[in-house]
């Protein structure tokens, strides 16, 4: 039986799965996340118990739904809302890469897809859109107004036709938060006698928190909760930091719960988070008509994150591509495995654990590595009979190690290890070391052992997390199999 862990310290969806949004239909729960520059976009999960989740697909699987536009790290799909209404699932999000098209709405009868062609809400420019319906069936869009010249400009709302994306009347300001910076991530709910507006405030870094207000109408006015913020770990030594961006759901038992994002930093000050912003679960109680978070209510089973993929079946939804499409990057080989159309392309999967090992069986040429963004990555490769480690840190690219081999088939390996250096002030310990090696007929050869700090958000910036990468530095190369497994802590 899998070990159960405290929900206060362990995510329900580990790895780079931020900005969670949730809904329930009967006995089934569905959860979606933002995905930034990676396509397909917006991974979606299913659960029957709130603590064990299985990815059933990605919502945005066509470039009509997720238009490319501007490219680069931390562009693409931002915060979203997933809801069920009138026998349909509705999903609304922001595509920063196609920012001036406005918010994007798709719907589906089956959450595993296919999802509809998109509707664009051109009148709503900003991020973090929410959809909520009143008793009369009026749909309200609430979002954070933002542009990249002025910055954030507050929370606004408008009744909308979600089928067309057209406003039913001009938008208007609504609750602007409790007074902290960066009031965003709105979610609107009708619960009991009140309408509740929940926000993320303080920025998505160490000051992140959840605030709430209530009123008698979906349009407000809203009165701020006297206990705001109702969830935060700021200025604490809690192992989970940056908590916020929550979404509520009523359970099958009639109780309430919330999903929210958090990070688990490690290493010396200021602490380095490498898995990205992860999805956590808390119970919700009601005191004097206000929600309060019970972070330790749920026991979380240890997620099974192992996989081994020889690419003989349809591409698993774990595999995504930064600023591209899998169909344009790889093709299946008749003899098994995959080949890459371009030496610049990579196929990516999210890292789900702190301690892990991955290897790739390659023929003639191939690479396996670790990526935070296009300017911060490490990989080990076989090309033209030479095995070498290659790293990119900012503007610096460098080759490490390397030796010649006559073998056509080798296994390239990347794994984490405890940092060998002590913490500051007398050392420079990061969250981990990254070890790259190769397995040939003569045994295992370590090519490089590198500081993991450079593949952390605190160094590279942005909103994403570590991704495994596989590719081929030569068109002759073939990836036969990729295996990932967690290591004992």
Residues with active-site annotation: 19, 184
- Burial class of residue 451 in the structure, from the number of CB atoms within 10 Å of its CB (0-12 exposed, 13-18 middle, 19+ buried): buried
123, 111, 191: which is closest to 160 by C-alpha? 123
First-residue to last-residue Cα distance in the chain: 18
DSSP 8-state assignment for residue 266: B
| C-alpha angle 412-272-184 in degrees, rounded to nearest 5 | 115
Alpha-carbon span 107 to 25, nearest angstrom: 15
Check if the beta carbon of residue 195 is closer than 8 Å to that of residue 213. no
Alpha-carbon span 482 to 309, nearest angstrom: 5
In Å, what is the CA distance from 282 to each residue of 25, 250, 251, 255, 299? 19, 12, 12, 12, 10
CA atoms in the 13 A half-sphere facing the CB of 198 = 26
DSSP 8-state assignment for residue 474: S
Q: List CB contacts of 422: < 8 A, sequence separation 6 or more.
A: 429
Alpha-carbon span 138 to 66, nearest angstrom: 27
Q: Which two tokens stand for residue 286?
A: 């009601």
DSSP codes joined into one string, 317-334? TT-BEETS-HHHHEEE-T
Check if the beta carbon of residue 283 is closer than 8 Å to that of residue 331. no
DSSP codes joined into one string, 270-304? T-B--S-SEEEEEEEEEETTEEEEETTS-EEEPP-
- Burial class of residue 281 in the structure, from the number of CB atoms within 10 Å of its CB (0-12 exposed, 13-18 middle, 19+ buried): buried
Check if the beta carbon of residue 377 is closer than 8 Å to that of residue 455. yes
Q: Which two tokens stand for residue 136?
A: 């009369």
Residue 249's DSSP bridge partners are 257
Q: Which two tokens stand for residue 148?
A: 């990249």
CA–centroid distance for 366 within its chain:
27
Residues in the chain: 489
Alpha-carbon span 41 to 451, nearest angstrom: 30
């Amino acid at each position: 039986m899998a070990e159960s862990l405290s929900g206060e310290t362990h995510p329900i969806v580990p790895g780079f799965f931020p900005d969670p949004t949730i809904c329930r239909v009967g006995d089934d729960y569905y959860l979606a996340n933002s995905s930034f520059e990676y396509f397909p976009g917006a991974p979606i999960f299913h659960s029957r118990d709130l603590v064990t989740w299985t990815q059933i697909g990605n919502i945005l699987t066509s470039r009509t739904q997720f238009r490319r536009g501007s490219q680069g790290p931390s562009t693409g799909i931002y915060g979203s809302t997933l809801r069920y209404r009138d026998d349909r699932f509705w999903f609304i999000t922001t595509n920063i890469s196609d920012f001036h098209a406005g918010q994007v709405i798709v719907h589906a009868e089956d959450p595993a897809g296919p999802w509809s062609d998109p509707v664009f809400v051109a009148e709503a420019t900003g991020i973090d859109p929410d959809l909520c319906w009143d008793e009369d069936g009026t749909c309200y869009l609430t979002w954070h107004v933002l542009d990249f010249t002025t910055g954030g400009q507050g929370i606004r709302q408008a009744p909308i036709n979600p089928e067309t994306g057209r406003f039913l009347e001009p938008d208007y300001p609504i609750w602007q938060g409790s007074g902290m910076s960066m009031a965003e991530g709105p979610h609107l709910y009708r619960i009991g006698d009140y309408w509740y507006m929940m926000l993320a405030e303080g920025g998505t870094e160490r000051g992140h928190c959840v605030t709430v207000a209530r009123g008698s109408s979906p349009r407000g006015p809203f009165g701020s909760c006297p206990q705001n913020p109702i969830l935060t770990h700021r200025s604490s030594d809690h192992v989970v930091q940056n908590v916020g961006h929550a979404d509520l759901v009523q359970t099958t038992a009639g109780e309430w719960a919330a999903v929210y994002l958090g990070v688990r930093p490690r290493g010396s000050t200021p602490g380095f988070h490498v898995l990205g912003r992860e999805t956590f679960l808390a119970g919700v109680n009601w005191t004097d008509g206000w929600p309060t978070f019970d972070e330790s209510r749920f026991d979380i089973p240890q997620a099974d994150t192992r996989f081994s993929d020889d690419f003989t079946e349809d591409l698993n939804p774990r595999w995504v591509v930064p600023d591209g499409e899998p169909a344009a990057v790889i093709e299946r080989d008749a003899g098994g495995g995959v080949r890459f159309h371009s030496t610049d392309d990579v196929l990516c999967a999210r890292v789900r654990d702190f301690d892990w090992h991955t290897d790739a069986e390659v023929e003639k040429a191939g690479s396996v590595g670790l990526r935070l963004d296009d300017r911060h990555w490490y990989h080990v490769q076989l090309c033209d009979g030479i095995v070498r480690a290659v790293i990119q840190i900012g503007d610096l690219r460098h080759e490490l190690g390397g030796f010649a081999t006559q073998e056509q088939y080798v296994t390239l390996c990347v794994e984490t290890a405890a940092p060998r250096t002590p913490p500051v002030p007398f050392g420079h310990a990061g969250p981990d070391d990254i070890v790259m090696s190769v397995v040939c007929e003569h045994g295992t050869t370590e090519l490089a052992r590198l500081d993991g700090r450079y593949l952390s958000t605190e160094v590279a910036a942005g909103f994403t997390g570590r991704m495994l990468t596989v590719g081929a530095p030569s068109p002759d190369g073939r990836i036969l199999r990729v295996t990932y497994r967690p290591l004992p802590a």
